[in-house]
Structure 1
Amino acid sequence: MKNLENGLSRREFLSNTSKAGLAVSLVGTGILSACSGEVKGDSKAILATSFSQTPLAYDFSALAPHIDAMTMEIHYTKHAAGYAKNLGDAIGEENVDTNKPLEDLLANISQYSTKMRNNGGGHYNHELFWKVMSPNAGGQPEGQLAEAINSSFGSYETFVEQFETAAKTRFGSGWAWLVVGEDKKLAVGSTANQDNPLMDISDFKGTPLLGIDVWEHAYYLNYQNRRPDYVTAFWNVINWNAVSDRYMAAI
């Protein structure tokens, strides 16, 4: 092949062909895909979520003092791992086609059991949560994402206020989200329990770009009942590059 003659190895060619095939399959489901940088050696599709738990890309202590190591360890190894395991059980019980992305299942979650809804949502939400945080992060978004935030909310400060309000006022357990809708506009909202904006049963819909877990297990060891303090601290660990990659893939 000409590409091989130009120095593209057979392994690289097969890898790129595989990625192209994944992208085509996701476009067919309405989920655009692109390939992110390496996370522990593996190239991941930006918007496609695996049915199994992905290795954490940083140490449990890496987000301290904003999120402490003990909370991260319990959260990842107990809560999130439990959702992944229970999702696997539900998949076997309900004969789910795992050749399609998890996002397909969530978009039709009304056709499945409560077990699938709770654990499919819980797994997806946590997989996104780990990816949009990183050590030495924070600051503000740049580029087209920053422009979209200013266009949709008027200013970055107004976006922060709306996002914090969604997170702080979500009654009981749940999540707050920044999403991009079908109109390519950004919006902020929240969902209860482990629901998310991809689900057909959700009143708040869109492609999630950023999510914050406001279940008490996400913050109680360090912040006790001070959820607003945890929400404010979250800005210090947001990986805006990852959020921006999700935005560019979604539009």
Structure 2
Amino acid sequence: MSYILPSLSYNYDALEPYFDEKTMKIHHTKHHQTYVDNTNDILKDFPEFSKLEIEDLIQNLNKIPLVKRTFLRNNAGGHANHSMFWKGLKIGTELQGQLKSAIERDFVSVENFKQVFEKTALTHFGSGWAWLILTSNDKLVVISTSNQDNPLMGNLVSNIFGYPILGLDLWEHAYYLKYENRRQEYIQAFWSVINWDEAAKRFAKKTF
């Protein structure tokens, strides 16, 4: 079994004017496709791992020989991160229900959560991701990871293991054609395209 590039459930221009059509198309068909291809290529030597769901695979990177692990970490991480990212985008959904209550519990208010998330994303140096994660003690936390690392990788990348509820791609290829060096504008645009329904499903999953 090989991993495949997931189809989007919307057109490339569906997130205009916040995320532009050209960036979305290149991001999906070029960048994400490369992560898929590279992951499949390296797993030719480890066929037993290609049977795992991508989020399971990135939790088992310690079972891959060290000489191959970093390359797989970068590319399988890229596939996992982007697969989640596309599902998490949609205009017109609303934060409500249990997820909203949990955000208010752990961040005092939704507005404060947004401020924490924006600061984390804006101050992250270089390429990476900003995340809202659910930790093993059922607490929501905002963190960032470098490159294509994912909170599910746990101790391999940080001292925090968590289940990602939503994530924002901070690589320049995700925003530079439209926002150039204005990362803050891109981060603020994210609030208009979050698929809160998808985030609520991930929160309700509560895998811990």
TM-score (norm 2): 0.92
- The question of 1:236 aligning with 2:188 is answered no
Q: Distance in 2 between matches of 1:53 and 1:87?
A: 11
* Counterpart code for 1:127: S
- For residue 202 of structure 2, what is the aligned residue in structure 1? 246
- For residue 52 of structure 1, what is the aligned residue in structure 2? 4
Q: Distance in 2 between matches of 1:247 and 1:124?
A: 17
Q: Distance in 2 between matches of 1:233 and 1:72?
A: 14
* Counterpart code for 2:85: F
Aligned partner of 1:122 among 70, 74, 78: 78
Q: Distance in 2 between matches of 1:165 and 1:247?
A: 22
Q: Distance in 1 between matches of 2:87 and 2:128?
A: 18
Partner SS for 1:107: coil
* Counterpart code for 2:123: T
TM-score (norm 1): 0.76
- For residue 56 of structure 2, what is the aligned residue in structure 1? 104
Higher RCO structure, 1 or 2 (CA under 8 Å, sep 6+): 2
Aligned residues: 200
Partner SS for 2:164: strand
- For residue 176 of structure 2, what is the aligned residue in structure 1? 220
- For residue 34 of structure 1, what is the aligned residue in structure 2? none
Query: RMSD of the alignment, in Å?
Result: 1.4
* Counterpart code for 2:200: S
- For residue 165 of structure 2, what is the aligned residue in structure 1? 209
How far does residue 110 in structure 1 lie from its aligned partner after superposition?
A: 3.0
- The question of 1:94 aligning with 2:46 is answered yes
Q: Distance in 2 between matches of 1:161 and 1:57?
A: 29
- The question of 1:137 aligning with 2:92 is answered yes
* Counterpart code for 1:104: D
Higher helix share: 2
Q: Distance in 1 between matches of 2:111 and 2:99?
A: 14
- Cα shift readout 1:44-103 (whole Å, capped 9, x = no counterpart): xxxxxx932210111111101101000000000000011011111111123343333222
Q: Is the 8 A contact 2:135 2:163 kept in 1?
A: yes
- The question of 1:198 aligning with 2:152 is answered yes
* Counterpart code for 1:155: S
**Which blocks of at least 5 consecutive residues in structure 1 are unaligned?**
1-49
Partner SS for 1:59: coil
**Which blocks of at least 5 consecutive residues in structure 2 are unaligned?**
none
Partner SS for 2:148: coil
* Counterpart code for 2:133: V
- For residue 142 of structure 2, what is the aligned residue in structure 1? 188
Q: Distance in 2 between matches of 1:129 and 1:147?
A: 23
- For residue 24 of structure 1, what is the aligned residue in structure 2? none
How far does residue 249 in structure 1 lie from its aligned partner after superposition?
A: 0.8
